[in-house]
Amino acid sequence: MGLFDEVQARSLSEPEKFWAEAAENIDWIKPCEKVLDDSDAPFYRWFQGGVLNSCYNALDRQVAGGRGNQIALIYDSPVTDSKEKITYSQLLARVEKFAGALDGLNVQKGDRVIIYMPMILEAAVAMLACARIGAVHSVVFGGFAANELATRIDDCQPKVIITASCGIEVSKVIPYKPLLDQAIELSSHKPSYCIVWQRPQVEASMIDGRDLDWVEVESQGPVKDCVPVAATDPLYILYTSGTTGQPKGIVRDNGGHAVALYWSMKNIYNVSPGDVFWGASDVGWVVGHSYIVYGPLMYGATSVMYEGKPVGTPDPGAFWRVISEHKVSVLFTAPTAFRAIRQQDPDATYLDKYDLSCFKTLFLAGERCDPDTLNWALEKLKVPVIDHWWQTETGWPIASNCLGIEQLPIVAGSPAKCVPGWDVRILDSEHKEVGAGDIGAIVCTLPLPPGTFSTLWNAPERHHEAYLSTFPGYYETGDAGYKDENGYIFVMSRTDDIINVAGHRLSTGAMEEVLAAHDDVSECAVIGVADKLKGQLPLGFMVLKAGANRSHDEVIGEVVQKVRKEIGPVAAFKLAAVVDRLPKTRSGKILRATMRKIADCEEHKVPATIDDPAILDEITIALKGLGYAASA
C-alpha cells in the first residue's frame, strides 16, 4: 500500500482522530467537546462545542505569527490596467475598518450581508469583515441578473448589501448599482442599507437614507476584536443552481471549513506558507470562497485576485504573464480557460515570452476535463496538470491527486482517487455497488468530512430530499460515472438537469421556467449540448401556443433576451428553436436525454415508451438548423 492509500485508509478508519489532528492547525478560542456529533444522523456536525473566528485565523494570527509584511493579496486587473499588493497587516487594518462600518450599521452576529461585487480587493475585505463580526455573508456572482439577485435577497434577508458601482468585462463596463436597485425593487425583503464602493469608471447614483458610500461609512472606529462564533455557526451562504428556479443556499460552517481548507492547502495543493497561489475564478463561486480568500489566507500563502479573462485581456498570454510577474507556484482554474487559450494560441507561442520557472502545478476543476485539453496543458507547461472534482456543496475536493501526500500517476479523464476523508461509491438503481468500469450514480458514504455544507438555508427538508433520501446512508452527488480497477474515479455527467457552461453551474430547469413564462410558449425543454469552448451550452425547444402567429425568429429573440434579463448573461443562452411537438414518453415525460444525445451525435436508443418516434426526426431537423446533430 502506498503512502496515499495508507493516509486515505486511516482517514476512514479513524475519522475523529484524523480530523482532530488536522484541527490542531487552527487557532481555537475554545476547543471542541466532540469532534463528530452523530446524534442527529444523517445530519452530522463537526467540532461541536468548538469556538473560533475565521477572520482571526485568516488575518490576525498571520500578523501575530510574523507574516505582517508578507503580501496577502495581489490584485491584478488588466481591464483597468492596475495592480495592487497588500500585506497581511494592511489587509487586517482594512478589514478592521470595514468591520467597524458594518458594526456601526448594527450588523450583528448571525445577520446576513449580501456582497454583489466584481473581482476587486474590496470584495475580499467585505467577506472577511463579515466573518470578523460573525455576520453571514452571501456573495452573488456579478454575471447574474437583477431577478436572481432578488431571489437571493428574499431568501437570506440581508440587513446590508455591499456592492461596487460597476464590473468590467474585458472592455465593457457593467454598472452594478442599477441592477441592485432593480433587484431591491423586485424583492419583498428590503435591506436597511446598501454600501457602495465607487469605481472611477462609473459613479453610482445613491438613494438617500439607504445607500452609503464605502469610504464615508468607514469613518466609524475599527473593530479590533474578532467575535467568537461556534464551529457549527454559519460563515457563509452561497447560492447554487438546483433543479428549479429556486437556487439552493449552501450553508458552510466556520470550524469544519477552516480545518478542511487548511488541510487541503498542504495535502492536496502541496503549497507552503509564503507561496503564491492563484485561484483564477471569481469570488462569486465556491472556488473563489475556498481558494482565493479563505484557504490561502488561513494557510499564510499569498493569493492572487485577477480581474480579467484568460484571453482578450489583452491576449492568450495573460495567464503566463500573471504567473511570471507574481511568481505564482500553483494555478487553479477551469478547463474552459485552457480551451480558450488553446483556441487562440494552439502552439502556445505566448509561453515563450515569459519565465515560468516559478510555476509548479496546474489544478483544473469545475467541469469534466477532456483528455485533449489536459494533455495539451501537460505538453506545453511541462508541470503536473491535476484534474480534481468537487462541488459547491462540498467546498473542497472530493477526488484529486493529493500532491502533498504522494503524487499518483496522472490519468487523463480522471480526477484520480477519493481524497482522504471521502469514501466514494458507485451505485446502481437498486443501491448496489457496481463493478469496476460500470457506470452508476456517484455517492459518498456519510458522514461527509468537515468543510462540507451543513444544511440548505431556509430549506432543511430540501437538504434531505435532494441529497440524502435516494440512497440512504450516502450523499448523492448528482454526478454519474465509474471507478476503474485501480480506484480512479471518472465523472462523466450529471444525473439531473444541471449543466456546466464555461465552468459555471446552471439549471436548465430554471431556464425552462423563463421560457415557459413567455406569452406565446405553450411548452418547452432546455438541454445542455456539447460546446468546444464552454464545455456545454444551453439549447431550448419551444412549442408555441395555438393561435400564436408571431414569427419564430421574433419569439426566439425575445426568449434569448428574457433569459439574459432574468437569469443573467452568464447563462449564455443563445440557441433556441421552435418545433411543432416535443418528444415524450406515453406518460408525458419529455425525453431530454434523448434529444441531447441526438444533438451531440451520441449513440442512442429510441426509448420503448416513446409516444411518437417521428417527433425525434423533427427534433433532428431543428437541431441541424442550429448546427447540431451534424452526423446523426
Which residues of this protein are in contact with ligand AMP, per CB under 6 A?
A: 240, 286, 365-369, 387-392, 415, 477-479, 491, 494, 500, 505
Phi-psi region of 13 (alpha: psi -120 to 50; beta: other; left: phi over 0): alpha
- Partner that binds at residue 570, options ligand AMP, ligand COA, none, CB closer than 5 to 8 Å by kind: ligand COA
Q: Cα–chain-centroid distance for residue 266? A: 21
DSSP state of 470: S
Within 8 A by CB and 6+ apart from 477, the residues are 391, 398, 441, 442, 443, 444
Q: Least distance from C-beta 487 to ligand COA, angstroms?
A: 26
By the 8 A CB rule, do 102 and 134 touch?
no
- Partner that binds at residue 290, options ligand AMP, ligand COA, none, CB closer than 5 to 8 Å by kind: none
Which one, 242 or 583, has the nearer CB to ligand COA? 242
- Partner that binds at residue 142, options ligand AMP, ligand COA, none, CB closer than 5 to 8 Å by kind: ligand COA
| H or E stretch covering 83 | strand 82-87
Q: Cα–chain-centroid distance for residue 23? A: 25
Which one, 135 or 398, has the nearer CB to ligand AMP? 398
- Partner that binds at residue 309, options ligand AMP, ligand COA, none, CB closer than 5 to 8 Å by kind: ligand COA
- Partner that binds at residue 572, options ligand COA, ligand AMP, none, CB closer than 5 to 8 Å by kind: ligand COA
Q: Least distance from C-beta 311 to ligand COA, angstroms?
A: 6
Q: Least distance from C-beta 557 to ligand COA, angstroms?
A: 14
**Type of residue numbered 563:** V
Which one, 218 or 282, has the nearer CB to ligand COA? 282
Which one, 232 or 240, has the nearer CB to ligand AMP? 240
By the 8 A CB rule, do 499 and 487 touch?
no
- Partner that binds at residue 387, options ligand COA, ligand AMP, none, CB closer than 5 to 8 Å by kind: ligand AMP
Q: What is the CA radius of gyration of the chain?
A: 24
- Partner that binds at residue 415, options ligand AMP, ligand COA, none, CB closer than 5 to 8 Å by kind: ligand AMP
Q: Least distance from C-beta 110 to ligand COA, angstroms?
A: 28
Residue with cell 447540431: 628
- Partner that binds at residue 146, options ligand COA, ligand AMP, none, CB closer than 5 to 8 Å by kind: none
Which one, 69 or 561, has the nearer CB to ligand COA? 561
- Partner that binds at residue 163, options ligand AMP, ligand COA, none, CB closer than 5 to 8 Å by kind: none
By the 8 A CB rule, do 579 and 541 touch?
yes
Q: Which residues pair with 213 in a beta bridge?
A: 196
Q: Least distance from C-beta 500 to ligand AMP, angstroms?
A: 5
Q: Least distance from C-beta 55 to ligand COA, angstroms?
A: 24
Residue with cell 477572520: 55
Q: Least distance from C-beta 467 to ligand AMP, angstroms?
A: 12
Q: Least distance from C-beta 338 to ligand COA, angstroms?
A: 9
Which one, 18 or 389, has the nearer CB to ligand AMP? 389
User: Grid coordinates representing 225?
Assistant: 476584536
Three-state SS at 373 = helix
Q: Least distance from C-beta 461 to ligand AMP, angstroms?
A: 21
Residues that bind ligand COA (CB under 6 A): 118, 142-143, 167, 169, 174, 281-282, 285, 287, 309-311, 333-334, 336-337, 340, 366, 502-504, 569-570, 572
Q: Residues, the chain, total? A: 632
- Partner that binds at residue 369, options ligand COA, ligand AMP, none, CB closer than 5 to 8 Å by kind: ligand AMP
**Type of residue numbered 505:** R
Which one, 341 or 424, has the nearer CB to ligand COA? 341
Three-state SS at 377 = helix
Q: Least distance from C-beta 280 to ligand COA, angstroms?
A: 6
DSSP state of 289: I
Helices (H) and strands (E) in the chain, counts: 20, 30
By the 8 A CB rule, do 121 and 73 touch?
yes
Q: Least distance from C-beta 142 to ligand COA, angstroms?
A: 3
Which one, 112 or 504, has the nearer CB to ligand AMP? 504
**Type of residue numbered 533:** L
Task: Tell me how far apart the alpha carbons of residues 119 and 130 are, in angstroms, rounded to a whole number.
Answer: 17
- Partner that binds at residue 212, options ligand AMP, ligand COA, none, CB closer than 5 to 8 Å by kind: none
Which one, 367 or 531, has the nearer CB to ligand AMP? 367
Which one, 18 or 390, has the nearer CB to ligand AMP? 390
Which one, 126 or 340, has the nearer CB to ligand COA? 340
Which one, 90 or 373, has the nearer CB to ligand AMP? 373
Q: Cα–chain-centroid distance for residue 623? A: 30
Q: Least distance from C-beta 335 to ligand AMP, angstroms?
A: 8
By the 8 A CB rule, do 350 and 320 touch?
yes
By the 8 A CB rule, do 426 and 483 touch?
yes
Task: Tell me how far apart the alpha carbons of residues 503 and 286 are, in angstroms, rounded to a whole number.
Answer: 11
- Partner that binds at residue 505, options ligand AMP, ligand COA, none, CB closer than 5 to 8 Å by kind: ligand AMP
- Partner that binds at residue 391, options ligand COA, ligand AMP, none, CB closer than 5 to 8 Å by kind: ligand AMP
Give the torsion sign (CA, 28, 30, 35, 39): negative
Structure-derived torsion over alpha carbons of residues 85, 91, 97, 100, reported in degrees to the nearest 10: 140
Give the residue among 290, 240, 228 at the shortest CA–CA distance from 265: 290
Task: Tell me how far apart the alpha carbons of residues 603 and 129 are, in angstroms, rounded to a whole number.
Answer: 53
- Partner that binds at residue 158, options ligand COA, ligand AMP, none, CB closer than 5 to 8 Å by kind: none
Q: Least distance from C-beta 506 to ligand AMP, angstroms?
A: 9
Give the residue among 365, 239, 329, 292 at the shortest CA–CA distance from 119: 292
Residue with cell 491535476: 386
In order, the DSSP letters of 180-223 are HHHHHHH-SS--SEEEEE-BTTBPPP--TTTEEEHHHHTTSPP-
Which one, 37 or 476, has the nearer CB to ligand AMP? 476
Q: Least distance from C-beta 104 to ligand COA, angstroms?
A: 29
Which one, 286 or 615, has the nearer CB to ligand AMP? 286
